Amino acid sequence: MFRLARMIHTKCRDIKIPYLRSNVFRTPVPEDKVPWTVDWPEYKPAEYTSESLKGKPWADPEDPRNLQFNEIDGNVNRKSHFCVYAFDNDGRPLNPIGRTGLRGRGTLGRWGPNHAADPIVSRIKNGKLEFVAIKRHDNGEWAIPGGMVDPGENVSQTLRREFTEEALGNVPAENLEAFWEKGTELFRGYVDDPRNTDNSWMETVVFNFHDEEGLLDDCRFEAGDDAAGVGWIPIDDKVPLYASHRDFIQFLKEKHGKC
Shortest separation between residue 20's beta carbon and ligand RP5, angstroms: 10
Nearer to ligand RP5, 21 or 128 (CB): 21
Q: How far is the CB of 42 from ligand RP5 (least distance, A)?
A: 30
> How far apart are alpha carbons 70 and 79 in whole angstroms?
4
Query: At its nearest, how many Å lie between ligand RP5 and the CB of residue 204?
Result: 4
Q: Does 191 bind ligand RP5 (CB under 6 A)?
A: yes
Query: Among 166, 230, 255, 243, which Cα is nearest to 203's?
Result: 243
For the chain, what's the residue count? 259
In whole angstroms, the minimum distance from the beta carbon of 116 to ligand RP5 comes to 4
Using CB under 6 A as the binding rule, whether residue 243 contacts ligand RP5 is answered as yes
| CB nearer ligand RP5, residue 73 or residue 141 | 141
Taking alpha carbons only, the member of 215, 223, 218, 237 closest to residue 134 is 223
**Residue closer to ligand RP5, measured from CB, 130 or 193:** 193
What is the Cα–Cα distance from 103 to 94, expressed in whole angstroms?
A: 10
Contact pattern for ligand RP5 over residues 32 through 71, marking x by CB under 6 A: ----------------------------------------
Which residue, 147 or 183, is less far from ligand RP5 as judged by CB? 147
**Which residue's beta carbon is nearest to the bound ligand RP5?**
146
Between 7 and 243, name the residue whose CB sits nearer to ligand RP5: 243
Interaction residues for ligand RP5, span 112-151 (CB under 6 A):
116, 118, 143-144, 146-148
Q: Work out whether 95 is an interface residue with ligand RP5 (CB under 6 A).
A: no
Which residue in the set 204, 209, 247, 252 belongs to the binding site for ligand RP5 (CB under 6 A)? 204
Which residue lies nearer to ligand RP5 by CB, 79 or 136? 136
Pairing of strands 46-49, 102-106: parallel
Q: How many Cβ atoms from other residues are within 10 Å of residue 99's Cβ?
A: 25
CB-nearer residue toward ligand RP5: 66 or 191 = 191
* Site residues (vs ligand RP5, CB under 6 A): 116, 118, 143-144, 146-148, 191, 193, 202, 204, 243
